[in-house]
Structure 1
Amino acid sequence: MPKAQETVLEINLSALGHNYNYLKSKVNTSVKLMAVVKAFGYGSDSVMVAKELQTLGADYFAVAYTSEGVRLRDENITTPILVLHPLANAFKELIERCLEPSIYSLKTLREFIATAQTLKQKEYPIHLKFNSGLNRLGFNEKDVPEMYSLLKNTTAVKVTSLMSHLVASEDHNLTDFTHNQISSFVSFTEDFKTEFGYMPMRHQSNTSGILNFPEAHFDMVRSGIGLYGYGNSSTEDLALKPIATLKSVISQLHNIPKGSSVGYNRGFIADRTTVSATIPLGHADGIGRQYGKGKGCFIVNGKKAPILGNVCMDMTMVDVTGIECQEGDEVIIFGAYQNASEFAKGAQTISYEILTSVSQRVKRTFCR
């Protein structure tokens, strides 16, 4: 692959295909897979990722907001798209673009039914989200009677799926909590079937649910982080392939005498003669200040180069003392030698955050 000559995020579409097929192999052939492509495809490129996954046969896509689904429709993505957190001001556009809402409260149900009726819809597909313990979005048990009443008094919408979200499916210390969530969700879906005479699709599992709780696969599973190469465990990480590599170059080298400083507020003061390399990306590109002062490191010619001082808006300086390098050499922020999870650990965060933080001003390139 060509060496970086600027800061780029390189997306490997073959790795994406590998991850998709691996996750599919973990579920029964009758179980559908919903690919989560929100947040610009976890910081990669939602359009290119969705196009590739559509070709591979993904059954559904999930986005957070209506605008994300509209973008996919504008790029000729025809696969069904679930909007996980739709807001009422976008309901009309959501329907016009054939997106499907996750309905999570009595208020959103009333508002969506009203919009669907105004637009003269008949059995428009909706997904009901049940709160089984995450306490973020979802109907609670006390809401169920009124929810049923609203659904029975309209023909404008029809429930196409029942869904919930696991809280800690990657945490083996919370297995009992997860089993309770699964049981609670099953009770909700069985009650719905009794009330309405049919069972919509059911889905509750995220990536770790796919890998750890086969009893929660139901009719469809949802995968986000797994598609991008991370399995929330060291064992599963070995089976998956990170799709994104963040690369840059050395713009300039400096010899820093003992006692001299580097960067804003003299964030680093040399206790010996130090060689620093300036890299053209900073906190405006997604490398937050929390990675400064040695909490993060970049890879220069296969060796770790700790961040010196404070990360700047557009630049980061790293310690390349003892590393053979020159201006113009490639630098890996995450990818080979350290993946996004390993890089994120330095700032006590997770791969999700560093991946989705990569700024849209960083050029995306694609390979296989």
Structure 2
Amino acid sequence: MASCFQTKPGHGWNGLFLLCACALGCLLWSALPARAQALPPEFLPDLAFEQIAANRAAYDRVVFIFGDSVAMMCSLEQVDFSKLRAKKDDTQYMVSAMAEKMRQANVPGDKVNDPLWCMHSLGTAMNSLFAASGLQTAVNHGLTIPSAKLVAAYAGGLGLPFPKDVTARVNEIAKLFDTGVIRDGDVVIMEDAGYNGQNPDAYEANWLALGRAALHGAAVTLILFDMFDDIPEEPVMGIPPDGFRFEAAFPSPTTGGRRSHNQALRDAAAQLAADKDNKGTLVFLDMRRRMDAFRAALADAFGVSALTPEGIHPNVWGEAFLARELLRTAGLAPLLGNPQPYRDVLVANASRLALGDTAVDPDKARDFINTWLIP
């Protein structure tokens, strides 16, 4: 059995892609004029999902991860933001060029030789832990997973924040239940970041539709979580920063006042949890509060951030913390009997995790990683 921890040390990430481009490729697609849109090709399911869908009987339990680029991938390379700033008001460039870079983000190539390859997405980080604990067979740097007792997969986008796109995705997700791809005992994680739509009432309705598609389909554990962010004070393509801030309050006729998109999600989660038609169980994770605590601890310990400079995406520090919290919330952490390889690769590459130039002492990093990042 092979896993990403058996790769040789090396970098191999020449010109991977612009990290902020990933953020903007996600959120600016949504920022285009409202219309029915096909699922952006950069949000198509990953290789693990394709393997599972083709032979579901080979996998006992699956963690299906739905969402945007925060759920889909994690950059392992520092970014030159000067080029992005020069193009930030060019809609055609930002949508087409950035989408192409996102599509290329998870193409393996020489990138599998990077010791941090296993951290290039939330799903692969989880799978590296599952494989090391003997819960799956994984070969070819974890790209091929022929069978597993437990496996994670990125299952595609959610269509947020557009109602027509959400409706299309709800129908597609329902088919995954109807055909038995998602079944009793599985875990479904749904995530949203980036452009929030600036309409908390519509946002709540979108989440109600998405949540019901999962909870009414099978006896799954559905995990929803509120969104962290640290958005700079700068409009993007004419959209004010609050268009990307999930704690920013907007008018809410439904409540007769104002509320944030995070609050709209919390309100939707409360309704979903009480739905009498549920087959599954909803668990809400207060991820913003937990990520804020982690960000503060990380900054205090090493003077580095857990988020990338555009204030949306976790870097590897942030992604590893997100993975830990999700695994614990799903009740999967007790199954991980061998976290040592995962811990070792994070410790050995601690100075790279924040994508900056700050040197991090491995011994100090080990204690911090044991406390904050190991499920």
Interval of TM-score (by shorter of Structure 1 and Structure 2): 0.3 to 0.5
Would you tell me which structure has more strand in proportion to its own residues?
A: 1
> Which of 1 and 2 has greater Rg?
1
TM-score (normalizing by structure 1): 0.33
TM-score normalised over the length of structure 2: 0.32
